[in-house]
Amino acid sequence: MKRLLIITGPTASGKTKLGVRLAQMFNGELISADSRQVYKLMDIGTGKDLPLPVPIWGLDLVKPDQEFSVADWFKVAQKKIFELWKKDKLPIIVGGTGFYLKALINGFDSLGVEPDYKLRRRLEKMSLGELQEKLSQVYSQRYEEMNQSDKNNPRRLIRAIEVVQTLKKKSGFKSIKADKLLLIGLKAQKKYLYQKIDQRVEKRIRAGSEKEVKGLLKKGYGWDLKAMTATGYKEWREYFKGEEDLKEVIQRWQFDEHNYLRRQLTFLKKMKLIKWFSIQKGGFEKQIVKLVKSWYD
């Protein structure tokens, strides 16, 4: 049976730790859904918790000066999920990058597929019923997930067909259709998470974050790169220019992490399939293990 488990939540909520425990219990391996951890040489600032007692995929995929999109991550995750299913293992997605999870679960409009006007003109000649049948044939899961309004909207049906067919041509696309899907979300009060974030930033400073950023700059990776605008790196810019001291770097980093957390929460709250657990409640891990065991069996 093809099972897919997703563990998400805001930064500092303990997703990887929980993922490791569940992977050990249910013959699983982890796939990271963290847009900051795809970059090589960027370990401390992004918080790569390595080594782990179980395999984790999706880390160190590109150099800091290489482009990496949601579509790129989807291809990596898709390939690894199918590989794990073939080995009768449980893929466990861990991460809080909402766009990655949305692409995996809800469809592909977010993958940046350019319009195919030639295909659109052909599809526009089809009736509503023909469009519904077409999408059901090329990607039945996407059609089944649509609400009734979308199923009766020719424009949305055309876009869904366009995206799937474009991905098939470009990347050997296969739809990810799990027989059983479970989404677990970890949450806590913002004040509690802010404290955890602040402590984690200070820990990363002690671990050598400054040295890591200095090494990236020496290798020629400049501040204009997308990777260097990630939280944990952009905050050092004024420091290395001699315009701020270390205390100001720490404060800015902590503030930016707080802001990132709020954005994550706003995005993830819109994902209605998530079963939320508060990490501030005693025994929450036991409750999750019980849920996963029931779902897995």
Does an H or E element contain 186, and which?
A: strand 180-187
Tens of each residue's pLDDT in the chain, 297 residues: 899 999 999 999 999 999 999 999 999 999 999 999 999 999 999 999 899 999 999 999 999 999 888 878 988 999 999 999 999 999 999 999 988 998 888 655 545 677 888 999 999 999 999 999 999 888 776 787 677 888 999 998 998 888 888 776 665 555 577 889 999 999 999 999 999 999 999 999 999 999 999 999 999 999 999 999 999 999 999 999 999 999 999 999 999 999 999 999 999 988 888 999 999 999 999 999 999 999 999
Give the total number of structural domains in the chain. 3
290 plus 183 within the same structural domain: yes
54 plus 101 within the same structural domain: yes
255 plus 183 within the same structural domain: no
* CB environment 188-217: b (16+ within 10 A), e (fewer): beeeebbebbbebbeebbeeebbebbeebe
161 plus 182 within the same structural domain: no
Determine if residue 198 is left, alpha or beta; phi over 0 gives left, psi from -120 to 50 gives alpha, anything else beta. alpha
246 plus 129 within the same structural domain: no
Of 171, 200, 215, the residue that ends a domain is 171
Encoding tokens for residue 184?
């677990």
Regarding beta strands 90-94 and 3-8, do their DSSP bridges make them parallel or antiparallel, or are they unpaired?
A: parallel
CA-only gyration radius of the chain, Å: 21
70 plus 185 within the same structural domain: yes
Task: Identify whether 51 is preceded by a cis peptide bond (ω within 30 of 0).
Answer: yes
pTM for this structure? 0.81
12 plus 100 within the same structural domain: yes
44 plus 126 within the same structural domain: no
For residue 289, what are the domain limits? 3-109+178-189+272-296
75 plus 184 within the same structural domain: yes
Q: Which of 239, 263, 259, 262 is nearest to 249 (CA)?
A: 239
Q: Kindly report the number of other CB atoms within 10 A of residue 137's CB atom.
A: 10
Encoding tokens for residue 140?
């039945």
153 plus 16 within the same structural domain: no
Encoding tokens for residue 159?
């876009």
Query: Domain containing 8 — which CATH number?
Result: 3.40.50.300
Query: Domain containing 200 — which CATH number?
Result: 1.10.287.890
144 plus 290 within the same structural domain: no
Does an H or E element contain 185, and which?
A: strand 180-187
Q: Cα dist. 229→68, 74, 135, 141 in Å?
A: 14, 22, 39, 36
97 plus 55 within the same structural domain: yes
